[in-house]
Amino acid sequence: MKNKATVIGAGLAGAEAALQLAQRGIQVDLYEMRPEKTTGAHKTDKYAEFVCSNSMGSLDITNASGLLKKEMEILGGKLIKIALENSVPAGNALAIDREGFSEKVTELINNNPNINVIKKEITEIPADENIIIASGPLTSTPLADSIKEFTQSEHLHFFDAIAPIIEKESINFDKAFYASRYNKGEASYINCPMNKEEYEKFYNFLINAPRIELKEFEQDAKFFESCLPVEVLASRGVDTLRFGPMKPVGLVDDRTGEKNYAVVQLRQDNSAKTLYNIVGFQTNLKWGAQKELISLIPGLENANIMRYGVMHRNTFINSPRILNPTLQTRNRKDLFFAGQITGTEGYTESIASGLLAGINLARLIKQENLITLPAETMLGALMNYITNPEHDKFQPINSNWAIVKEIELPKQIRKNKKEKNTILANRSIETLEKFIKENS
């Protein structure tokens, strides 16, 4: 096997992967199509550009994203180090000076003797050995078509809007109840009932709530009629939702027997039954507005939102069918995917998967065993989640506690989120450090 690798895309994942390979003595050809061809969202010709906000989320290890950052530091992540060096004050969060950050990453890559940057669009998956595809959610169309062919068309997805995901533990079951419509099948939906007054308050907030401004290239986005953002549906009339995703018919709370004016339904989102998505609530509202809107739903007043609804073009592969938790494809052992295209969501997650793909491709080239990170770690859990073959309706996901390997704890600790997360975070760090010792 050649001591050489190709990385496609010098975004967050690709830049990290290339630096990891280079550090392990592998010669890397890093392809980046900007500035010749733009994605529509990137503004510069620098590598590892933050396309939207400059926040990478919490640094607190009792927060899922904070733990993921800690794990990247332990694993020797390059971009997390540069991010910390280029941080700006943001309380407990890691916000960065995006220009300083990208400039530093660009300099490090350009000056690395093992990395050869080629400014060129890749239009099909190269037949060469040892590839990491990290071309992101805005992968150019010719490459997307080639990936589609490799993954067999239905395994490459495009979508406009996704609904928020809620942690079940945070739902108030004094108000919410389990039922299926007309009691058909298992009562697997969680239902949040509303009276007329509650519905009107909710509706008025929804139609006036601020939306995220669309990028020019997304403004002509065509929605599937069955996948309209909830605010677009609501703007058609005050009762449209009550006859659509919020229809109350056939949903009765056995405890009260009462009929409801409207009902918000939540559908199970993971096999562990810890995450639920809000049915029909795909949205483009600003995240603050989503939080406020959800708090107006009886039962979700204090809901933990594990992933906000988002709307933008997103290209992601059906990882549960295509990838191993090492990020290696099942059908071609020298081909890896990394970054948002794998179905993880967010800057931190993209960098983290670039880190893992870089380490594993280097190990493959050196004929060492690939690493699958422990399920106790946030990154290991994320990789397990996105590559779990049991997911037949796969949607992208952020790091979150609900996917991490369960731990037996006394009830009073389980109820104290901070205490529970501290235990989980310390377990992850210990497990990861031990894992590294055993595998290096």
Ligand X SMILES: Cc1cc2nc3c(=O)[nH]c(=O)nc-3n(C[C@H](O)[C@H](O)[C@H](O)COP(=O)(O)OP(=O)(O)OC[C@H]3O[C@@H](n4cnc5c(N)ncnc54)[C@H](O)[C@@H]3O)c2cc1C
Residue 103: which residues within 8 A CB-CB, separation 6 or more? 46
CB of 281 to ligand X, least distance (A): 19
Q: Which is nearer to ligand X, 298 or 309 (CB)?
A: 309
Site string for ligand X, 302-321 (x = CB under 6 A): ----------x---------
CB of 261 to ligand X, least distance (A): 36
Q: How far apart are CA 84 and CA 27, in angstroms?
A: 27
CB of 120 to ligand X, least distance (A): 7
User: How many residues bind ligand X, per CB under 6 A?
Assistant: 35
Q: Which is nearer to ligand X, 108 or 176 (CB)?
A: 108
Q: Give me the helix-helix angle, 98-110 and 78-85, nearest 10°.
A: 140
CB of 204 to ligand X, least distance (A): 28
Is 358 among the residues that bind ligand X (CB under 6 A)?
Answer: no
Is 10 among the residues that bind ligand X (CB under 6 A)?
Answer: yes
Is 98 among the residues that bind ligand X (CB under 6 A)?
Answer: no
Work out which of 79, 109, 122, 241 binds ligand X, going by CB under 6 A. 122
Work out which of 11, 280, 298, 309 binds ligand X, going by CB under 6 A. 11
Residue 312: which residues within 8 A CB-CB, separation 6 or more? 41, 137, 160, 215, 218
Collapsed DSSP state (helix, strand, coil) of residue 263: strand
Measured over the CA atoms of residue 395, residue 318, residue 66 and residue 430, the dihedral's sign is positive
Measured over the CA atoms of residue 125, residue 128, residue 134 and residue 135, the dihedral's sign is negative
Q: How far apart are CA 395 and CA 352, in angstroms?
A: 18
CB of 152 to ligand X, least distance (A): 20
Rounded to whole angstroms, what are the CA distances from 351 to 10, 21, 161? 11, 14, 23
Site for ligand X in 29-58 (CB under 6 A): 31-34, 39, 41-42, 51-53
CB of 337 to ligand X, least distance (A): 9
Q: Which is nearer to ligand X, 11 or 280 (CB)?
A: 11
Collapsed DSSP state (helix, strand, coil) of residue 240: coil
User: Are the C-beta atoms of residues 332 and 385 closer than 8 Å to each other?
Assistant: no
Q: How far apart are CA 269 and CA 423, in angstroms?
A: 25
Q: Which is nearer to ligand X, 35 or 250 (CB)?
A: 35
CB of 68 to ligand X, least distance (A): 11
CB of 349 to ligand X, least distance (A): 7
Binding piece for ligand X, criterion CB under 6 A, among 90-98, 258-266, 339-347, 422-430: 339-347
Work out which of 164, 343, 346, 358 binds ligand X, going by CB under 6 A. 346
SS (H, E, C) 146-181: HHHHHHCHHHEECCCECCCEEEHHHCCCCCCEECCH
CB of 123 to ligand X, least distance (A): 6
Q: Give me the helix-helix angle, 196-208 and 287-295, nearest 10°.
A: 170
Q: Give me the helix-helix angle, 417-439 and 64-74, nearest 10°.
A: 20
CB of 99 to ligand X, least distance (A): 15
Q: Which is nearer to ligand X, 42 or 242 (CB)?
A: 42
Work out which of 5, 7, 13, 357 binds ligand X, going by CB under 6 A. 13
Work out which of 245, 299, 339, 358 binds ligand X, going by CB under 6 A. 339
Q: Which is nearer to ligand X, 74 or 93 (CB)?
A: 93
User: Are the C-beta atoms of residues 341 and 136 closer than 8 Å to each other?
Assistant: yes
Site string for ligand X, 206-235 (x = CB under 6 A): ---------x--------------------
List of E strands, 33-176: 55-58, 87-88, 93-96, 115-119, 131-133, 156-157, 165-167
Site string for ligand X, 131-160 (x = CB under 6 A): ---xxxxxxx--x-----------------
Adjacent-strand bridge partners of 156: 317
User: Are the C-beta atoms of residues 165 and 307 closer than 8 Å to each other?
Assistant: yes
User: Are the C-beta atoms of residues 325 and 332 closer than 8 Å to each other?
Assistant: no
Query: Which residues in this chain contact ligand X in the complex, by CB under 6 A?
Result: 8-14, 31-34, 39, 41-42, 51-53, 121-122, 134-140, 143, 215, 312, 339-341, 346-347, 350
